[in-house]
Amino acid sequence: MNIKIIYSEIHKQHNPPFEIYDGVKESYAEKSDRIEAIIKTLRENGVNKFYSPEEFSIRNIYSIHQKEYVNFLQKRSASLNGDQVLYPSYFIMDTYTPIVKGTYDAARSAVNVALSGAQRILNGQGVVYSLCRPPGHHAEQKAMSGYCYFNNAAIAANYLSDHGKVAILDIDFHHGNGTQNMFYERKDVLYVSLHADPRLMFPYVSGYADELGKSQGLGFNKNYPLPLRINNKEYSRTLLKALEEIKKFDPKFLVVSLGFDTYEKDPIGGFKLTLSFYKDIAKNIKNLRLPTLLIQEGGYYTQDLGKLSFNFLQGME
Ligand code: SP5
Ligand code: ZN
């Protein structure tokens, strides 16, 4: 496989015991098995080389997240015992994003995984897949939410943007509210997202079609809210429009926020995309012929995550 894959096992240290939905404790959907399932299937298909991330300066995080927020996550993680878990408080916006002892280290390592991918893109690699966990696109400047702590894609895109224009294509089932906000007033980073109608689905507060950017950034934000139960064909039509937007922008780099929660069997999502379709999605993205950094976001049907990922990578090859 020509695609370089970045992975760190430090993600396993982040494993919250449950999330809370309408007052009821449920098993935590964003499990560490997700990434391990992907690794396992890739290995079974002959993909054996996984690169460890390099360490990057914390300054890369400070340019996207408030320092107090970063310090809070670090201190609170360190203050917990192995079996303790911290639910909503200041900085923690919902019941899906608790802090456990290993959260800071895992989130920090996910950022290193993303930045190592970005660095390889700068070094001339065509496609890199950063197997980030925890995911990032819901993380705001000073708020953790939706299983996200640090915004891996935003930090990587910001890093790349020192070297040319960056387009971010977000194809997770959910709108990437955090990423949108980070670049809302910038014209050198385009954010384009396909996601479930936020009137019906998380994150509710953003992802609407009339959010187009602000001041200098006006015209550099594009949302495609989609109805539930959308199928391959309908999704394709919108994807092609989104890719046209990116083409017009003429970026130097592409960052893909890659979620597999658009899959028909996903327990949280609500689209009807099928297993083999992920190869087509990737082929269309590849047609842009841009240096492309893939950042893993959501996807919760653990059993098929490996196949989804492998199909996607085959389309990108
Ligand atoms: C990165 C990402 O995909 N984050 C998604 C956050 C979505 N959180 C809301 C999920 C609530 C699911 N629980 C509903 C179970 C009903 N029994
Ligand atoms: Zn999602």
State the virtual CA torsion across 184, 188, 192, 198 in degrees, nearest 10. -10
266 in ligand 1 pocket by Cβ < 6 Å?
no
For residue 283, with 0-12 CB atoms within 10 Å meaning exposed, 13-18 middle and 19 or more buried, which class applies?
middle
State the Cα–Cα distance between residues 176 and 139, nearest whole angstrom: 8
The minimum-distance atom of ligand 1 relative to the CA of 174 is 3
Of 11, 97, 147, 148, best ligand 1 pocket probe by most atoms within 8 Å of the beta carbon = 147
- Read off the tokens for 243: 């890719």
Is there a contact between 93 and 36 (Cβ–Cβ < 8 Å)?
no
CA–CA separation, 139 and 137 (whole Å): 6
CA–CA gap between residue 261 and residue 174 (Å, rounded): 8
DSSP string over 88-147? SBTTB-STT--B-TTHHHHHHHHHHHHHHHHHHHHTT-SEEEE--SS--TT-BTTBBBTT
**Closest ligand, as measured to the CA of 145:** 1
Run of H or E residues at 303: helix 302-316
Query: What number of residues does the chain have?
Result: 317
261 within ligand 1 shell (Cβ under 6 A): yes
Q: Which atom of ligand 1 is nearest to the CA of 147?
A: 4
Closest ligand 1 atom to Cα of 297: 1
Question: If 0-12 CB within 10 Å is exposed, 13-18 middle and 19+ buried, where does residue 31 land?
Answer: middle
Token pair, residue 209, equals 């079609």
Please name which of 106, 72, 85, 74 lies closest in space to residue 28, comparing C-alpha atoms: 85
Q: Are the beta carbons of 261 and 268 closer than 8 angstroms? A: yes
Compute, in angstroms, the gap from residue 268 CA to the centroid of ligand 1.
5
In angstroms, what CA-CA distances link 51 with 5, 39, 125, 308?
6, 12, 13, 20
Gap from CA of 192 to ligand 1 centroid (Å): 21
Beta pairing partners, 24 = 21
Please name the residue whose Cα sits nearest to atom 12 of ligand 1: 268
Q: Does the pTM exceed 0.85?
A: yes
CA distances from 96 to 120, 139, 202 (A): 32, 12, 11
Instruction: Count CB neighbours of 4 within 10 A.
Output: 19
| Beta bridge pairs of residue 192 | 169, 222
Enumerate residue ranges in the chain where pLDDT < 50: none
Pair 176, 137: CB distance under 8 Å: yes
pLDDT per position as a tens digit, 159-207: 999 999 999 999 999 999 999 999 999 999 999 999 999 999 999 999 9
Catalytic annotation, residues: 138
The closest residue, in CA terms, to atom 8 on ligand 1 is 146
